[in-house]
Chains A and B, each alone.
Chain A
């Protein structure tokens, strides 16, 4: 009994108490390096110590529903609106957008580079049955990819052996694509920051259908009383303010601008 108490006290001693905010974000936010720019500034201006949980959009929403995080920053509009409608988040605030790009082998066997739209480019990949790597992890990028396939008129039954669903994050999927010399839909930030490019190249980008809106959703304290809602609102004010605007618009990798700040003055 004595050492049971000892064990319990040992465990408690490891728990950190601090005024912190847990924010579930998508991999692209972290991989782009934007978090390294924003977090120190947030700490300096608001005193909030933001702890990032870098997950896919699906898991981020799940963490928010369970109340394991105080707010989420994700990019999948339909799922976000559902999240708010179900009463898990107080509201949805648009912050910024970046864009998706189609990556593929430099030989471009499917010939996507000259296509006028992303739908045509996807159709070209399907017609050529060129190897394509899909995230397959219910992330925002994965959902985007599936919606493009659907719009392009390629049904999931048409996916043959050329369609590889890897069920991993952006980086791991890019590693697979690099190894298999395959086509893959990625966000621009993760692509530019990815080191193991191999034979891969950016083949298609710029279609407005590839724009990718990021939104901030505080978890509803009415449902989870323990969440740090005060800090979440403070963070939202900061993220939609002038300093954030400057940092987000100014962030670039290899001279390519990654994010465009587009927060409105007041929530919708």
Chain B
């Protein structure tokens, strides 16, 4: 590993200042679970690393009015240890617990999972389905941007020099709402999604679908929602027929590629199956058996 300078930022302004110098290659160090390995392999060769884990705002995990705020630098395991989060966001818990091992979850961060912008990132589909936004901050400015707009291409996010992901804000819905995340991997643990689907769903009192957001992982270069499937099921009774029909429409939003983990054809075969399981998990959460 080539050597570099290390800066432990104590505030967003500190970090922003260090990240603004365009004459050198300055990278953000969050959990480091990908970055340290990339540096070791020479894939990333920074001049300076700015460690953002000691910035207090980036460690916050709290409910603010009708929003859950997750600090960008908080380890994933500290998020799913909060019982109040788990009851609201079972799909978020599922995705957090699927990322790497316990050792990785104790270190990796939500900002890192988003910032890496891997199409297979487990947190992204559920965050998109939950209509989450990222607070992108510099020393002087803050802006809110939808996660699906923040990630623009594999490995690329829309942040400028001097900016970092301060937190992720997830709206908390009141009433009959739930969410789920289901992925397919060849192995049960320690694997990377071949297909991942996040669903956020709401029901009216007559059990017709009042709200449905379906977001796809590992089958598009950047996050995408399965709009046709969502529109199909909206207003319909949540039953095995409507779930099956909606699931078959998911493929219309996918552009899978063939890579080391699966062929594009296989991913297209998997999508309706995983989609059906993800929607059915929402039904289970509602106490409806299909």
Do A and B interact?
Answer: no
Task: List residues of chain B with CB under 8 Å of any chain A CB.
Answer: none
